[in-house]
Structure formats: C-alpha cells, structure tokens
Structure 1
Amino acid sequence: MVLAFTIASVLSTAIGGVVALRNRDRLHLVLGFTAGVLLGLVLFDLVPELFRIRHADLGGVPLPMVTAAAGFLALHLLERGLALHAAHEGEYEPHSHHDPAIGLASAAALVAHSFLDGVGIGLGFQAGTAIGVSVAIAVVAHDFADGLNTVGIMVAHGNTSQRARVMLGADAVAPLLGAASTLVFTLPESWLGGYLGFFAGFLLYLATSDILPEAHARHPSRLTLSCTVLGVAMMWAIVSLS
C-alpha cells in the first residue's frame, strides 16, 4: 500500500509540472495561482501541523516559529545577496533581473520537502494503516501543486524548460525515495517541527515577496488576482477533504 501511494504521489507531481510547462504563454496566471497555492499550503497545512507537533522552546519562543523566521530571512538574504552581486556586475555589463540560482535553490527546497512527504507516508504507515492512508491522501493531493510550483519557480527566475524538467523529475521521484528511506531510519518529531517551520517561512517569502509581485508585474489584471484566490481556495478544499 505504501508503494501504491508513493507512485500516485510521483504521478501527481509530474502532472502538475507538465501543466505548468505547457502553459508558459499564460505564465502570469500560473504564477498567480502558484502564489495562492503556496499561501494556502503554509496557512492551511504547515502551520496547523506545527501546533500538533511536540516541540522545544528557544528563548521562550516555540522552535518552529524561530525556524520559520529563519527560513523567511534565509531566502531574503540569499536573494538580496545575489541581487547586490548582480548590481555590481551591472556596472560593467548588462544583466538580467532574474537570477536562475534563486529558482534552482527554491526548487531544491521543494524537492527536499517532497522527500519528507515520502518520509511522512512511510512513518504514517509505521504508526498504523489509518494514519498512513490519511497522510498519503494529503500528500498525493498537494503534490500536484508541488509539481506546478517547482516549474513555476524555475521558469519565473529565468531557467530553461530543460532545467525545469530536470528539477520536476527530481521533485517527482523524491517522495518515492523518502518513503523507501523510512525502512532504515525514523525522523524525531522535534526535528520535523523545526523543519516544517523553516519550510513554512521559506514558502511564505516565495509567495509574498517573489512570485506574486512577479505575476502582477508582467500582467497586472483581475484574472491574475482571481488565480491567486483560486489557488488559496484549492488548498483549503484539499486540506479540508484530506
């Protein structure tokens, strides 16, 4: 049963990525929708999960909240650092506003998240069939968005379609590898809370400071805004049903 659900997760991720790749002429709509999905994933899935996980405090603040701030600031500092570097280079030669390295780093983070999705499926079934099925349904449901987000982020930062496909392939296979890894190790719950917090902060920055402004910069329209609202609503429905 674990294998069946992880294969479904692989297919769900791949389909989401293909949808994004085949609609590059409507990239502003894809980006608007992606931003909404990321916001919904953080607010309806990751943050509530943090409250259910036992965790330690750091300086009187729950550890996942500290790592969430760290995740937000880490991507901000990385992006600003690359922007400053590009600005200095621009004194001597033309440069592009987009930096493929940001897209690659962001997509790599999504791949890591997908790997832990697979870990979650494996550990869920270790805890019991009912828990495993619930976790697996949630993972398969939002992995479509993961594939969409991986391609959207890569393309938004100027990466080629070939690179986007490579990262999509890695993102699709990651849950399968994650589930297989649970045969040899288990992830401490306290570590999981810290990771989820960091990833939530990372995605929050991507959605609000990166993808959404880019979507509206290209085609500021009510349709783009509607796609963002649709992305949030879709994640609400997915989390509610799962």
Structure 2
Amino acid sequence: MAVFVALGAFLMTLVGGWTARRVTDRRHLVLGLAGGLMLGVVGLDLLPEAIEAAGGKVFGVPAALLLFVAGFLLAHLVERLLAVRQAAHGAVGHEGRTPQVGLTAAAAMVGHSAMDGVAIGAAFQVGGGMGAAVALAVIAHDFADGFNTYTITTLYGNDRRKAVVMLFADAAAPVVGAASTLLFTIPEPLLGGYLGFFGGALLYLAAAEILPEAHHEHPARSTLLCTVAGAAFIWLVVGIAE
C-alpha cells in the first residue's frame, strides 16, 4: 500500500515540473492549499501520534518534540546552505551562477523526497489512517518540489535535458523510499522520533517555502482561504478517523 500511495507523489512531482514550464495565475491557489494540508497534517495528526509513539522525555521535554525542533532547524540549515529559496523565487538570473550549484540543490531535494517516501512507509507501519494522512501531505507538497526542482536546475544555467532528468529523479525518490520500508519494521519509539523529526522538516517547508511562495506575487484573500480550507480538511479527516 505504501508503494502504491507513493506513486501519487511520483505523479504530483511530475505535474509540478510540468507547471514550472507552463505557469498560470492559479498556481498560488494550489500552493496555498498545499501549505494548509501540510500544516494540518503536522499539527493535528503527525505530531500527536509521534509524541504518543516516542514515549519518554529528555530533560523534561518529550523526545518527539525535541526531534520536531531538530527537523525544523535542519531543514532551515539545508535551505540556508544551498540558497534554495532565493533560486526558487527567481530573485536573480543564472548569469554568474555555477550550474553545479543548481544540480547540487536539486540533488538535495531528491534526497529529501526519498525521505518523504520513508515517512509514508513508516506511517503505514503505525496504521492506515496515519499512512493516508502523511501520504496526503507528501503528495500535496510534492507539487512544489517538482516545480522547484525544475526551476532551480534551469535558473543556475543548466539545460532543459538536465532539468528533466532531475525532475524524474525527484519524482521516483518517494517510491524508492517507501519501498525500502518493506524490508524492515521500525520499532515504535524510533518510529515516533522519526515522525516527529519529519514533522519539523515538513512544517518548515510549509511555513518558509510553500506559503511565502503562494503569496509572493498573489497576496490574494483566495490564497489564504485555500490554506485555511486545507488545514480544516485535515481536521475533518482526523475527526472521521477517530
């Protein structure tokens, strides 16, 4: 089931890359909705489950929360080191940029997508409801991953062929990551810690990348409504599952 669901992430990544070549004025609404879905999954489903599964505390703080903060900070560190946001926002052209930097940044996104797949498989080991919720969040933000992978590669002066190769690598990575979890079962405390760590990284992507991008050129009320609708939908899903 995890691998089958990961195929949805594969397709959504390709859709994001295709959209990068044919941008429309509706893209901000899709990104706004994706940000809301990710926020809802992290705050309403992923983090509570991680705290329960991880168990004990470390110096008075639940281990899952410490790893949640670590995931957020690591995502921030990686973004700062590779300057992903500046490239994705198109702040400057590719003149004077090194093509290898664009490929490195795109490769980092491929690695991140592989971990998305691991998160899907790990969540399905907890239960079908958790797996579906995490898969929904991954699929939602993989649109932005595909869009940014293609954009970053080309903005640094790489040709279209290399951008397409990186896009397909990014699309296949979640499937590979999900398939890897069929080979082992993650102990519950470790699983809770990983889900907490993944939740922190996911929240960073939503708060620092996707939502700012959604409002970058279209600070419309409709974008905000899409974000609220995404979070409310996850609340509805969690309520029905309970």
Of stretches 231-240 and 219-228 in structure 1, the one that deviates more from structure 2 is 231-240
Which 5+ residue runs of structure 1 have no aligned equivalent?
125-134
Counterpart residue number, 1:9: 5
Q: TM-score, normalised by structure 1?
A: 0.73
CA RMSD of aligned residues (A): 3.2
Cα distance per residue 1:89-123 (max 9 Å; x no partner): x9xx6459x967556535533432322422443x4
Paired with 2:186 and 2:41, the residues of 1 have a C-alpha distance of 22
Counterpart residue number, 1:218: 217
Alignment of 1:111 with 2:117, yes or no, is: no
Counterpart residue number, 1:129: none
Superposed counterparts of 1:203-214, under 5 Å: 203-214=202-213
Cα distance per residue 1:47-84 (max 9 Å; x no partner): 11023214232222111111111111112122223349
Paired with 1:226 and 1:188, the residues of 2 have a C-alpha distance of 39
Paired with 1:227 and 1:39, the residues of 2 have a C-alpha distance of 12
Which secondary structure does the structure 2 equivalent of 1:219 belong to? Answer: coil
Paired with 1:230 and 1:201, the residues of 2 have a C-alpha distance of 21
Paired with 1:37 and 1:7, the residues of 2 have a C-alpha distance of 21
Cα distance per residue 1:137-168 (max 9 Å; x no partner): 54246524423312312423624454233212
Alignment of 1:163 with 2:166, yes or no, is: yes
* Alpha-carbon contact 1:104-1:154 (below 8 Å) kept: no
* Alpha-carbon contact 1:151-1:168 (below 8 Å) kept: no
Given candidates 155, 168, 180, the residue that maps to 1:177 is 180
Counterpart residue number, 2:30: 30
Q: Which amino acid aligns with 2:65?
A: M
Report sequence identity in percent.
33
* Alpha-carbon contact 1:16-1:147 (below 8 Å) kept: yes
Give the number of aligned pairs.
217
Paired with 2:70 and 2:217, the residues of 1 have a C-alpha distance of 30
Superposed counterparts of 1:133-144, under 5 Å: 135-140=127-132, 142-144=134-136
Alignment of 1:56 with 2:56, yes or no, is: yes
Deviation (angstroms), 1:200 = 1.2
* Alpha-carbon contact 2:119-2:134 (below 8 Å) kept: no
Which 5+ residue runs of structure 2 have no aligned equivalent?
87-91, 153-162
* Alpha-carbon contact 2:54-2:64 (below 8 Å) kept: no
* Alpha-carbon contact 2:39-2:231 (below 8 Å) kept: yes
Counterpart residue number, 1:153: 145
Paired with 2:217 and 2:58, the residues of 1 have a C-alpha distance of 41
TM superposition outliers: structure 1 runs of 4+ over 6 Å: none
* Alpha-carbon contact 1:100-1:154 (below 8 Å) kept: no
* Alpha-carbon contact 2:37-2:140 (below 8 Å) kept: no
Paired with 1:6 and 1:51, the residues of 2 have a C-alpha distance of 22
Paired with 1:216 and 1:64, the residues of 2 have a C-alpha distance of 31
Q: TM-score, normalised by structure 2?
A: 0.73
* Alpha-carbon contact 2:44-2:234 (below 8 Å) kept: yes
Paired with 1:101 and 1:234, the residues of 2 have a C-alpha distance of 35
Q: Which amino acid aligns with 1:9?
A: V
Of stretches 210-219 and 147-156 in structure 1, the one that deviates more from structure 2 is 147-156
Paired with 1:14 and 1:136, the residues of 2 have a C-alpha distance of 20
Q: Could you say if the C-alpha distance between residues 216 and 150 of structure 1 is closer, same or farther in structure 2, counting changes exceeding 3 Å? A: same
Q: Could you say if the C-alpha distance between residues 51 and 237 of structure 1 is closer, same or farther in structure 2, counting changes exceeding 3 Å? A: same
Paired with 1:137 and 1:155, the residues of 2 have a C-alpha distance of 28
Counterpart residue number, 1:77: 77
